[in-house]
Structure 1
Amino acid sequence: MYRCLIALAASAAIAVPALAQTRSFPQNALRGTLVFGSPPVVALNGNATRLAPGARIRGTNNMLVMSGELVDLKIVVNYTYDTSGYLRDVWILTDDEIKVRPWPTNLEQAQAWSFDPATQVWTKP
C-alpha cells in the first residue's frame, strides 16, 4: 500500500510541472508563416527558401517532427537561420504562443526592439 502511495505521489509531482512548462525561444527567433513543400523546400512568408541540413522542427509538444509529415501545411512558427541563410530551428507554435505579441517578423524589428529572455517578452521602442 505504501509503495502505491509513494509511486502515485511521485508521478503526480512529475506530471504537474510538465503541464505548466512553457518554451523559451532564443532572441534571434523570428515569427512567420511557413508552408511546407517537398523537403527541404518551404515557403516562408510567401518566399521560397530551404531547410538547412540537420534542421530541427519542433512540434507544439516540443518533440521533433519530420518535415515530410508537414507537406502542404501552413503553420505559424518561430524560426532561426543558420550562417548560410537556411532555416535551422523551427518551432510550431501553440495558440497561446501565437498570442504573445509583439514578436519580430524580420531582422530590423529584432534589432530595434528589446527582448527579455526570462519573460519571453519583446518591447517596442
Structure 2
Amino acid sequence: MYRCAPPALPRRRLLTTSAASTALAAVFAVLSTVATLGALTAPSTAHAQIAPGHRYFPQRALRGELVIGVTPDVKLNGKAARLAPGARIRNAVDQVATPGSLYDQKLTVLYTTDINGLLMDVWVLNEVELANKFWPTTPQQASQLVFDQASQVWRKP
C-alpha cells in the first residue's frame, strides 16, 4: 500500500504547463470558430438539391393515414397496427415528436416497418411533401414503380 505523498512539482514548471494549456485552448477556440464560419458560408455540394421544406425518405417508405391511440396502438389506413419499441416519429418540421403530442389526430405520413411488421420510422408530412401525391401505399405498388432518390419522385418504368 503506497502511503507516501507524491512529490510536488516545482512551482515554475506548474505555471509553464498552465500557461501552455491556456494558450493551446485559445488556439483551438479560434480554429474551431474559423472552421464553423467556413462551414456555414461554404456551399454544400454533397447532396442533390430538392425543394425547400422537402426531406429525404428511404425507398422502402410507404404512405398512409395514421391515427395514434394509446401507445403503442395506432390505426394505419383504418387497420390496427402497433409502434415498434424505439419507434421514431418526426413531425412536419422534422423534430422528434412523442406519440402523446399527436394523440387522436388523423395524419398523412410516410412510414417504414421492421421485420415484425411494427411501425419503426414515421414522418408526418408537411405541405410541400403533401403536394407529391404519387407515393406507393403498399409494397406491391412500390415493386411496380421506379424511385428516383435524388428528386424523391416515383415513376412508372
TM-score under structure 1 normalisation?
Answer: 0.83
Other-structure match for 1:106 = 138
Matching residue's letter, 1:103: W
Contact 2:62 2:110 in 1 (8 A): yes
Contact 1:101 1:122 in 2 (8 A): no
Other-structure match for 2:55 = 23
Tell me how far apart the structure 2 counterparts of residues 124 and 98 of structure 1 sit (CA, whole Å): 20
Residue from 56, 68, 76 that aligns with 1:44: 76
Detail structure 1 runs of 4+ shifted over 4 Å in the superposition.
Answer: none
SS class of match (1:72) = coil
Give the drift of 1:95: 1.5
Other-structure match for 1:55 = 87
Matching residue's letter, 2:118: Y
Change over 3 Å in CA distance of 1:101–1:21 after alignment to 2:
closer
Give the number of aligned pairs. 111
Other-structure match for 1:93 = 125
SS class of match (1:97) = helix
Contact 1:56 1:64 in 2 (8 A): yes
Higher normalized contact order (CA 8 Å, seq sep 6+, divided by chain length): 1
Change over 3 Å in CA distance of 1:39–1:45 after alignment to 2:
same
- Bigger Rg over Cα: 2
TM-score under structure 2 normalisation?
Answer: 0.66
Matching residue's letter, 1:121: V
What is the aligned-residue RMSD (CA, Å)? Answer: 1.9
Tell me how far apart the structure 1 counterparts of residues 67 and 98 of structure 2 sit (CA, whole Å): 14
- For structure 1, the residue ranges without an aligned partner over 5 or more in a row are 1-9
Other-structure match for 1:73 = 105
Other-structure match for 1:32 = 64
Tell me how far apart the structure 2 counterparts of residues 105 and 47 of structure 1 sit (CA, whole Å): 13
SS class of match (1:108) = helix
Contact 2:54 2:128 in 1 (8 A): no
- For structure 2, the residue ranges without an aligned partner over 5 or more in a row are 1-36, 45-51
Q: Name the structure with the higher strand share.
A: 1
Give the drift of 1:21: 5.0
Matching residue's letter, 2:143: Q
